[in-house]
Structure 1
Amino acid sequence: MDLTNIFMIAIVLSVAEVLKKTFNLNTQYMPITSVVIGIFIGLVLWPLSEYPGYVMLMAGFIAGLAASGTFDLLKAAKQEGKQ
């Protein structure tokens, strides 16, 4: 799936961070928020891609999971730096 998935991860991560800062979301809800955003972004990008809808839906789901994993890694690294 070429670079589409990598771009989707970056978009999901960016949108999730903006939502977290704007609405002061609790960090325990960020993985679910990232997955929902990923699915939404996958469906929005579906008409622009050559892949079927279910593939873009799964790509959005995977991008949301990857973005939430990235968020958790950044959070752990930030806590490690404080010690």
Structure 2
Amino acid sequence: MQEIMNNIIAATAFVGVFAGIIVEVIKRADLVSPRYLPALSIVIGMVTGFVMATGFNQDVAIYIAAGFIAGAAASGVYDLVSNLIGGNK
């Protein structure tokens, strides 16, 4: 279990950089309402994790979990809850 957690933490740092860049480009281009950016960040993190796992022949589940964590960290879990439930625009 410790090895799995170490792999997820290492993959989070790796995936987080690429997911963060993609989300920032979408944010600056104003392609999506700010209300949906936190959820989009998590989805982009998971998709980026999947692509990287298949590209580098790594464990897909670990990289998807890492992408979820990286996306949540990039957007802030608080922002996700407050924007989707609170209805901020």
Aligned residues between the structures: 70
The corresponding residue for 2:38 is: 31
1:21 to 12, 19, 28: 28
In the alignment, is residue 44 of structure 1 matched against residue 51 of structure 2?
yes
Following the alignment from structure 2 to structure 1, what is the Cα–Cα distance between the partners of residues 69 and 43? 11
Structure 2: stretches of 5+ with no match in the other structure = 1-6, 80-89
Listed one character per residue, the Cα deviations across residues 1-46 of structure 1 (whole Å, up to 9, x for unaligned) are 2643212112111110101222442222111010010011010001
Identity value in percent? 33
Q: Displaced runs of 4+ in structure 1, greater than 6 A?
A: none
Secondary structure at 2:66's aligned position in 1?
helix
Structure 1: stretches of 5+ with no match in the other structure = 73-83
> Is residue 10–residue 67 contact of structure 1 (8 Å, CA) maintained in 2?
no
The corresponding residue for 1:80 is: none
Secondary structure at 1:25's aligned position in 2?
coil
Aligned Cα root-mean-square deviation (Å): 2.1
Following the alignment from structure 2 to structure 1, what is the Cα–Cα distance between the partners of residues 34 and 25? 13
